[in-house]
Structure 1
Amino acid sequence: MTDPRAGRRCHTPLNALHSTVYFSPEFDAEMETLGLAGAPGAYFSAGGYFAARSAAMGAVGPGAVTATFFNFSHTLIAQHLPGAWTVATPGQLLAARLRVVDRLLRRLLGDEALASKEMAEAAELALRAAGGCHRAGRPLSAAEADQPVAQEPHVAFWQAATVLREHRGDGHIALLTHAGLDGLEALVSHTSSGRGFTPAFARSTRGWSEEEWSAAEERLRGKGLLDADGELTEAGTTLRVDLEHETDRLAAAPYDHLGAAGVERLTELAGGFAAMALGNGAYPNGIFGRK
């Protein structure tokens, strides 16, 4: 078996490349064309995001999306689903998403990188790893794994990265539930660690009110996981660290399938592409960190 931490190191750039799609102007343009434009000034189209990310599962209702996305408000999701399916079909959204991937990666990485032997190698390695993902108990990952693979290496690379990203996420949600954290408590504790999105960005884009956020903080204090200043306690920090280690263990199958040498090479290639994408403005400014 590979070192589980090696899987996490590989996942980090793969996830960065996967997620940038939903923050891109290319995504907003496609959603507007389909009739799912976001609100003026929003970071992304919420309705388009819920529909496009869940489309591989079919025209599912808000309950299924709340369950699988986990840290979004059900109230927010229900504002957009199932209504989005009367505007665009899952097939239309899946096709639109791949068009976004093609145009976005061309903008962020350039045609030369997309046509390179390194991109072809990254796609081959990522697809091989994705072939080792378990389907049972992994609804988002399994649905993505059922999608036909694109012929273009850069699009296929993104598809494989998506399967791997959702595979880890599905396992992580199971562990959060086992730890007794609901979706909002998990989100608050994660932002309190200083990792991921800022609290303000996470709260607003996931549809939680300030009152709901404060109530979750109080619940975490009652569990001994958060202090009076909104920082993780020692127990809270230990829990978050343990959750990541256990997530590594549950996410190990595809990386074991690929093998240590393959994981190291995929990490190198994905890291290079992710660094290039981030350097070319893959994400809006000011959405990560403590404030």
Structure 2
Amino acid sequence: MPTQENPEATLVAGRRQASQRIPSSGGKIPGGEDNRIRIGGQASVFKVLRRKDGQAFAVKTILDSGDGYFDREDRTLATLGYSNTDRLPDRKQVRDLVLELCDYNLYERISLKGVLGEHEAAKIIAPLAKTLGQVHEEGFIHCDVKPENVLLADRESNHDCCVPKLCDFGLACCMTNPWRVSGIGTWVYMAPEAMLGDGCYTPAVDVWGLGMVLYHCLTARTPFLKLRREETRRISESVISSGSGVHHGVFCWDGISDGARDLIRGMTANRLVIKEILNHEWIKRHSSK
């Protein structure tokens, strides 16, 4: 498991030591709206400082609507070995996760830098694959793998040594009791089988998402971004019926090496298992540099 002495191994964002309690300020997040660093569909994230030493943390504020979002994230991270939750006082109907603070996410890095080089992309994808392997071994499916849920450090760095941290387990489900409705996740990164019917959630949906993340790294785009939902659904139905990937006529392969192309196709068409991803020639070649 990750340790404080080995930050390189800390791949799942959200670790919090028991002593890292941050006092509230009159029932409000200290700093208020000025310190909000992310707004999501289920929660907002604020930057806060610990009073005793000024150390920065992230507080993820979730409206306790009774849909189980907070409990799913809390349970998943706890099972993975990350004791990370704390209920800040005087905040009725709101639940807060106190998390380690990262500089920015992968989506922001791609937006800032543009297309990532294949070496840098491999250094991000390989650790994410290992993290997903751990998640799957513990019996969970993330269900929302996308660049926005991959946190990085060193915003100003142009180096390719950022350690990725997978975050936001609010949509995660147990393999023994998976989602039984379609549409869980983010549409443009969603596996075809998760879009249709009653949904079909297995570790393969995370592998698809990882393939979409790699494609986004290498092209700064997603293949479905400009398609209407009806068109995406039609493509998904074709994928399910034919058992093939969607790389013909949908993906743009300009500037992508044969090795990276083969891996993306493997993750989308063949749904490689995590071990196969990590043993792929493209990953091994870049990992050795």
Q: With the length of structure 1 as denominator, give the TM-score of the two structures.
A: 0.25
Greater percentage in helix: 1
Q: With the length of structure 2 as denominator, give the TM-score of the two structures.
A: 0.25
Greater percentage in strand: 2
Larger relative contact order (CA 8 Å, sep ≥ 6): 1
